[in-house]
Amino acid sequence: MEDQCPALSGAVAGKIAPETEQNCIIEVPQPCGLVIFGASGDLAERKIIPSLYHLCLDKLLPDNFFVLGVARTAMSDDQFRKAMENAIRTASPRGYTDESCRLFTEKLYYIPMDYGEFSQYRALTDRLLSLEKKHNTLGNRVFYLAIPPAVYETVIQNLGDSGLSQEKSGYSHIVIEKPVGRDLASARKLNVTLRRSFGERQIYRMDHYLAKETVQNILMFRFANSIFEPLWNRQYIDHVQITVAETLGIGHRGGYYETSGVLRDMFQNHILQLLALTAMEAPALFEAGRVRDEKAKVFRSIRPFDLGRLDETVVLGQYDRGSLEGTDVPAYREEMGVAKDSLTPTYAALKVIIDNWRWKGVPFYLRSGKRLSTRKAEISVHFKPVPHLMFSQALDGGIAANTLVLRIQPDEGIGLSFQAKNPGSRACLNTVLMDFSYRNVFVLDDYERVLLDCMQGDQMLFARDDGVDLTWELLTPLIEKLEGESGKDNFPNYVAGSAGPRPAAELLRRDGRAWRPL
């Protein structure tokens, strides 16, 4: 009984049951043991363990599987199981039953340890070996670092020195969460530490945006349909907008966010990844190495910011008090763990130029912020207007150009706006929408996808070292210059619940364009 995941009957509400998918079989990974560093922490409780439970319900975990939780807190296996049961109950209503949860948590174990104490890695190895024997996991291991970045290097080095990174009978993979460094130098240092113990093939640098179904769909949409790709260039596209707007504030993450800010937190990873997928060339094969090669080429083609003229390409903001859905919310500077005179930006809008053949003259406008009026992540491709308006006598103004919107969340889908004649009238046009919605057809959420992929050895949705370097190379000079400026005394400069700081609109207005409304 212990090795059986509870079965699901039929389709899970809002998801396609694995057996009903066509051409989309999700493979169950090989036997594997998952070691979670930081197992008593927030990430394990909110995301990793509930996602594993869902995978188990969906019969997507191998029968021979276990989780070994590692953290500083002293706890027995039973106490850990109880804590994770509570976490699952809180985080994942989908398909929850006491019995299925009990069967899942039977596979959870725990060992307390001090990450910096090398001698304790001996005990970890012994425990791991005995669990591998018990669950017959063939020596396949994933080490998931759900710990503060400040201890990444200590753990990675100790894993290497204790021989745990070596692949003897099975594979040994390591997953690290963002941030990978906080600038170019620290990212390079972390990558060097990683590579001293693990090969690039073993390293999974996670960006949960890449694991979102709609983000994965960008490449499918572009390269599996012959009608869009011929239009996907400077000849037909006027500009592209990428928006990741959040209504949430900083919550309890003030301590982290104060050392990060929106450029490190959202742009270096998620937003530049979205840009790369939108702008890259088609690889010859849909394969991790080739896709990551093409993304790296995009990063290499982005024009470095002109640090002397940042007012033409960058707008920063920080939220003030305001109101969202009828509730008053505090200013960023009033959040827990945030300095009263903090200059950390919670909003940024950037104008990015890609200097290559395809995108010459097509600006990419990127924006992201916290405490905005709407939660919305989307990529909008704005096509050029028609070259000659033959209806000019009949129509008052011009007509809206076609826009293709890839909606990443919420209301995941794709919309194409075009002009259609108003019935009855002689020459009256209206903008209408052709719309596809993904609602209720999701298979896996982002963490479920990532966990499966690192067990299956598929690195497609993870960042490679050169990609990380290149994105930091682009942003580090910009961040350093902005952080060194004293003139940000206009913070806070947007009201919580608004569309962001006013100058962001100016960034596009200057170019004769406008942001899509949030």
Q: Which residues pair with 410 in a beta bridge?
A: none
Q: Least distance to ligand BG6 from the beta carbon of 401, Å?
A: 28
Burial 64-84 (b: 16+ CB within 10 A, else e): bbbbbbbbeeebeeeebbebb
Q: Which is nearer to ligand BG6, 160 or 179 (CB)?
A: 179
Number of residues that bind ligand BG6 (CB under 6 A): 4
Any idea which residue has 């910011």 for tokens? 305
The span from the CA of 203 to the CA of 487, in Å, is 41
Let me know the angle formed at the C-alpha of 330 by 329 and 331, rounded to the nearest 5 degrees: 130
Question: What string marks each residue from 356 to 395 as x (binds ligand BG6 by CB under 6 A) or -?
Answer: ---------------------x------------------
Question: What string marks each residue from 2 to 41 as x (binds ligand BG6 by CB under 6 A) or -?
Answer: ----------------------------------------
Gyration radius from the chain CA atoms: 24
Q: Which is nearer to ligand BG6, 243 or 380 (CB)?
A: 243
Burial of 340 (0-12, 13-18, 19+ CB in 10 A): exposed
Question: Under a CB-based contact definition with an 8 Å cutoff, are residues 258 and 318 in contact?
Answer: no
- CA dihedral of 413, 452, 248, 340, whole degrees rounded to 10: -140
Give the up-direction half-sphere exposure of residue 157: CA atoms within 13 A in the CB hemisphere.
Answer: 14
From the list 54, 135, 173, 270, the catalytic residue is 270
Alpha helices in 224-369 (DSSP H): 254-258, 261-262, 272-279, 288-301
Q: Least distance to ligand BG6 from the beta carbon of 214, Å?
A: 11
Q: Which is nearer to ligand BG6, 265 or 335 (CB)?
A: 265
Q: Least distance to ligand BG6 from the beta carbon of 282, Å?
A: 27
Question: Under a CB-based contact definition with an 8 Å cutoff, are residues 243 and 367 in contact?
Answer: yes
Q: What are phi and psi of 247, to 5 degrees?
A: -90, -20
Q: Least distance to ligand BG6 from the beta carbon of 446, Å?
A: 7
Q: Which of residues 204-243 bind ligand BG6 (CB under 6 A)?
A: 208
Residue 246 interacting with ligand BG6 (CB under 6 A): yes
Q: Which is nearer to ligand BG6, 213 or 246 (CB)?
A: 246
Q: Which is nearer to ligand BG6, 265 or 465 (CB)?
A: 265
Q: Which is nearer to ligand BG6, 172 or 241 (CB)?
A: 241
CA-based nearest residue to 493, from 371, 376, 397: 371
Q: Least distance to ligand BG6 from the beta carbon of 253, Å?
A: 7
Q: Least distance to ligand BG6 from the beta carbon of 343, Å?
A: 18
Q: Which residues pair with 436 in a beta bridge?
A: 414
Residue 448 interacting with ligand BG6 (CB under 6 A): no
The span from the CA of 464 to the CA of 287, in Å, is 13
DSSP sequence for 486-505: S--TT-S-EEETBSS-THHH
Separate counts of helices (H) and strands (E) for the chain: 15, 18
Question: Under a CB-based contact definition with an 8 Å cutoff, are residues 344 and 370 in contact?
Answer: no
Q: Which is nearer to ligand BG6, 59 or 270 (CB)?
A: 270
Question: What string marks each residue from 69 to 108 as x (binds ligand BG6 by CB under 6 A) or -?
Answer: ----------------------------------------
Q: Least distance to ligand BG6 from the beta carbon of 345, Å?
A: 13
Q: Least distance to ligand BG6 from the beta carbon of 259, Å?
A: 12
Q: Which is nearer to ligand BG6, 141 or 208 (CB)?
A: 208
Residue 453 interacting with ligand BG6 (CB under 6 A): no
Bridging pattern class, strands 403-409 and 141-145: unpaired
DSSP code at position 104 = H
Q: Least distance to ligand BG6 from the beta carbon of 124, Å?
A: 28
Nearest residue to ligand BG6 by CB is 265
The span from the CA of 255 to the CA of 338, in Å, is 7
Question: What string marks each residue from 399 to 418 as x (binds ligand BG6 by CB under 6 A) or -?
Answer: --------------------
Q: Is 239 a catalytic residue?
A: no
Element (H, E) at 433: strand 429-437
Residue 265 interacting with ligand BG6 (CB under 6 A): yes
Q: Which is nearer to ligand BG6, 208 or 407 (CB)?
A: 208
The span from the CA of 37 to the CA of 147, in Å, is 6
Contacts with ligand BG6, residue ranges (CB under 6 A): 208, 246, 265, 377
- Which residues are part of the catalytic machinery? 270
